[in-house]
């Protein structure tokens, strides 16, 4: 084998190896998933500007349902964390009690400085209506904007706020 | 300015970018990652035997098939997983196979029975490793299941670490007792203990981290933990010292203690643990080195490799020629290397294709090649850390950090040992070096990382429409 061929192969191999590294780094660059700004015509974002930065992934073109029409017909099937460090976590609702708090045996372990170790629980009553109850937490549990004092039925889509975490029940 | 413009200007929303699954990117990179070793294989054959090696097709198909099956399993069972981990690991494994085959061709190594049939065996180990990778992806649906086995993992890890000390089972290979021999196979249990121990540390620290992080006093910029909170780190330190004394392997000892310190730091965000960890490991290493002869030999070979080499050549003592030979191999490689198949790293003889395989890379691919290899390792670690950052649950975060930290430490310990930065140890370069345990365990490690990254990168479900939203009309001035 001629000296020239081997030299070309040697340099070619190094070049290909480095090309692979560069391609891999390019993939990482295009893979940075963070935030992006979506232009949209809805009005509600302007109404609540302080929540814009925290809200995750609203699909740009979304059909908003016509208000209170279908409330209570279908029971919610899952609980979704929509804000906070656990965003995206879902728990299927199968008639079990869901406990929320920093204690590590909670159904949803909140990693949130404003949450108590046993903060709140969500459970179905006899009619299958889901109820949220504050378990004497320090900073309180909010349904929509009201601080809970008694066990309260949850309307579908109503945000339950615990510290920086927001939870919703979905169908 | 028109009204429509203004309205769009004011109603922008900040949301997370929907993470695409990136499986096609992975496939493209995987094709690339299989093509490079095939090219290298042809290059080695042309350089040594002046012909394209006859096994080129079967080798290429074998590696391609394994990578393809792994890719299909990832596509089916972990569709949102990180696109880089699998191609990077495949490339390293493929290049390792090429260099092992290249050393098999050496007449010198064949004559002293150090090599000859290592490459086909390594291909078999790779197949076993990828099989384990597939098993992990299929059966481990959710990494949080591992959290249930926190304390079982502790017992399992201790058992694996103690196995080499069992009389009759453990093997003392050139001083380090980190091997066991079962039915003719040598197994390095420490490689598997690494993964099991990461599971234990993650489960344990997740529960205890608040106590370890919050109860502390501040003293010259450092948070000093209370005396009783030092318990866990002392126990792990003590065990790693025991490993150093009884198994006489600095690498294993450093790996386990380092992994614990990294995870402790990540779990508690207290820099003081790193300071404590560095102090304790240096005290431990120096202390043990002062009385353990095998460790002393390693330290001498590190401090003055030339002296040891000459003593060994003259047959008057001297314990290791290889440390010096490895340095010569790196030196003769220069910047661009001698070319694949054209170096003389087979002169290292013993362990040329396992512990010292990096010296062959250094000689034949030069500084440029070694840098690319180390960058590829760095990228694997980076993807692991990225997975930990993206993971939503604390257990997944800690496990991903622990596994990638252990991987990084192992690369550092081996590369540092071969290059003369730290004393040599008996560990092997992940994926590159010849050795079944290492390849199989590291494929399992990558499998767990891919599982965590799939959970972490799965797109969050879109929040439901707020029924109150369209009822609110905002009247904005201007």
> Which tens digits make up the pLDDT trace of B379-406?
999 999 999 988 888 899 999 999 999 9
A27 and B471: CB-CB below 8 Å? no
Higher pLDDT, B309 or B72: B72
A54: confidence class by pLDDT, cuts 50, 70, 90: very low
Cβ neighbors of B19 (< 8 A, separation 6 or more) are A33, B80, B457, B458, B459
Tens digit of pLDDT for each residue in A14-31? 999 999 999 999 888 877
Q: Which residues in chain B are contacts of A71 at CB distance < 8 A?
A: 467
Among A35-44, B55-64, B257-266, B389-398, the minimum mean pLDDT is found in A35-44
Chain A to chain B, count of Cβ pairs less than 8 Å apart?
Answer: 200
Distance from CA of A15 to the nearest CA of B (A): 9
For residue B297, what are its two tokens?
């030999």
Q: Is the Cα dihedral B265, B255, B438, B378 positive or negative?
A: positive
pLDDT at A67: 37
B340 and A13: CB-CB below 8 Å? yes
B457 and A33: CB-CB below 8 Å? yes
ipTM of the complex: 0.84
Mean pLDDT of A47-54: 42
Residue A51, pLDDT > 80, answer: no
Mark which residues 106-165 of A lie under 8 Å from B by CB: 109, 111, 156-157, 159
- C-alpha distances in angstroms, B170 versus B166, B174, B475? 5, 13, 79
Are the C-beta atoms of residues B403 and B193 closer than 8 Å to each other?
no
Choose from A79-88, A96-105, A123-132, B431-440 the range with maximum mean pLDDT.
B431-440
- What values do phi and psi take at B171, rounded to 5? -120, 140
Q: Cα separation of A82 and B88, whole Å?
A: 34
pTM: 0.74
pLDDT at B470: 53
For residue B286, what are its two tokens?
């120096």
Higher pLDDT, B199 or B243: B199
pLDDT at B172: 67
Are the C-beta atoms of residues B445 and B403 closer than 8 Å to each other?
yes
- What values do phi and psi take at B186, rounded to 5? -95, 130
3-state secondary structure of B432: coil
Comparing CA positions, the residue from B84, B89, B83, B95 lying closest to residue B36 is B95
pLDDT at B297: 80
CA atoms within 13 A on the CB side of B27: 11
Q: Cα separation of A54 and A171, whole Å?
A: 23
* B69 class by beta-carbon count within 10 Å (0-12 exposed, 13-18 middle, 19+ buried): middle
Selected residue of B96, B335, B469, B476 to mutate for chain A interface (largest A Cβ count, 10 A): B469
- What values do phi and psi take at B466, rounded to 5? -85, 120
Mean pLDDT of B97-121: 79
A66: confidence class by pLDDT, cuts 50, 70, 90: very low
pLDDT at B184: 66
Q: Which residues in chain B are contacts of A45 at CB distance < 8 A?
A: 11-13
Among A79-83, B22-26, B268-272, B331-335, the minimum mean pLDDT is found in B268-272
Q: Which residues in chain A are contacts of B15 at CB distance < 8 A?
A: 35-36, 38, 55-58
Higher pLDDT, A21 or B217: A21
Tens digit of pLDDT for each residue in B53-102? 888 888 889 999 999 999 999 999 998 899 999 999 999 999 999 998 88
CA B452 distance to own-chain centroid: 16
By percentage, how much of chain B surpasses pLDDT 70?
A: 83
3-state secondary structure of B88: helix
> Long-range pairs for A140-148 at CB < 8 Å and ≥24 separation?
A148/A120
Q: Does B16 touch chain A (CB under 8 A)?
A: yes
> Which residue's entry shows tokens 């095939």?
B38
């Amino acid at each position: 084998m001629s000296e020239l061929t081997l030299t070309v192969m040697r340099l070619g191999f190094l070049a290909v190896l480095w090309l692979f590294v560069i391609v891999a780094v390019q993939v990482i660059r295009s893979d940075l998933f963070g935030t992006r700004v979506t232009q949209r015509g809805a009005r509600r974002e302007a109404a609540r500007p302080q929540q814009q930065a925290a809200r995750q992934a609203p699909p740009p073109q979304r059909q908003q349902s016509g208000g209170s029409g279908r409330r209570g017909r279908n029971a919610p099937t899952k609980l979704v964390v929509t804000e906070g460090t656990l965003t995206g976590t879902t728990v299927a609702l199968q008639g079990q009690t869901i406990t929320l708090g920093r204690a590590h045996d909670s159904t949803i372990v909140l990693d949130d400085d404003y949450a108590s170790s046993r903060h709140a629980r969500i459970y179905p009553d006899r009619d299958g209506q889901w109820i949220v109850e504050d378990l004497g937490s320090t900073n309180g549990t909010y349904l929509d904007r009201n601080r809970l004092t008694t066990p309260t039925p949850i309307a579908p889509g109503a945000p339950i706020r615990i510290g920086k975490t927001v939870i919703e029940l979905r169908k | 300015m028109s009204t429509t413009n203004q309205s769009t200007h004011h109603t922008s929303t900040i949301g997370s970018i929907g993470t695409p699954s990136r499986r096609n990117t992975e496939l493209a990179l995987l094709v690339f990652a299989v093509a490079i070793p095939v090219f290298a294989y042809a290059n080695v054959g042309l350089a040594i035997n002046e012909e394209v090696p006859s096994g080129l097709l079967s080798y290429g198909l074998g590696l391609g098939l394994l990578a393809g099956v792994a890719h299909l399993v990832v596509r089916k069972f972990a569709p949102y997983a990180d696109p880089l981990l699998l191609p990077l690991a495949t490339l390293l494994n493929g290049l390792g196979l090429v260099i092992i085959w290249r050393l098999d061709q050496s007449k010198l190594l064949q004559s002293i029975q150090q090599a000859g049939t290592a490459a086909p065996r390594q291909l078999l180990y790779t197949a076993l490793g990828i099989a384990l990778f597939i098993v992990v992806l299929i059966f481990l649906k959710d990494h949080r299941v591992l959290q249930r086995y926190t304390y079982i993992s502790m017992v399992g890890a201790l058992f694996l670490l103690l196995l080499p000390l069992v009389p009759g089972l453990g093997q003392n290979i050139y001083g380090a007792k980190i091997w066991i021999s079962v039915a003719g196979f040598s197994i390095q249990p420490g490689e598997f203990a690494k993964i099991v121990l990461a599971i234990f540390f993650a489960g344990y620290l997740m529960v205890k981290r608040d106590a370890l992080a919050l109860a502390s006093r501040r003293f010259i910029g450092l948070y000093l933990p209370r005396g009783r909170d030092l318990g866990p780190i002392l126990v792990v330190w003590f065990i790693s010292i025991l490993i150093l004394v009884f198994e006489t392997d600095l690498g294993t000892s450093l790996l386990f203690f380092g992994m614990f310190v990294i995870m402790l730091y990540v779990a508690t965000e207290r820099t003081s643990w790193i300071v404590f960890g560095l102090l304790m490991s240096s005290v431990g290493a120096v202390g043990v080195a002062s009385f353990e002869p095998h460790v002393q030999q390693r330290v001498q070979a590190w401090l003055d490799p030339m002296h040891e080499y000459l003593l060994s050549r003259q047959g008057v003592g001297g314990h290791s020629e290889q440390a010096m030979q490895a340095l010569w191999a790196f030196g003769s490689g220069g910047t661009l290397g001698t070319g694949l198949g054209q170096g003389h790293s087979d002169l290292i003889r013993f362990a040329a294709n396992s512990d010292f395989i990096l010296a062959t890379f250094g000689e034949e691919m030069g500084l440029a090649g070694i840098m690319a290899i180390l960058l590829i390792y760095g990228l694997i670690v980076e993807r692991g850390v990225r997975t930990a950052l993206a993971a939503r649950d604390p257990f997944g975060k800690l496990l991903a950090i622990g596994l990638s930290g252990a991987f990084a430490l192992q690369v550092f310990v081996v590369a540092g040992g071969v290059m003369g930065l730290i004393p040599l140890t008996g560990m092997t370069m992940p994926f590159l070096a010849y050795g079944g345990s290492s390849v199989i365990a590291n494929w399992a490690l990558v499998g767990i990382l891919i599982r965590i990254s799939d959970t972490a990168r799965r797109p969050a479900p879109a929040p439901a429409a707020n029924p109150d939203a369209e009822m609110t009309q905002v009247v904005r001035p201007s």
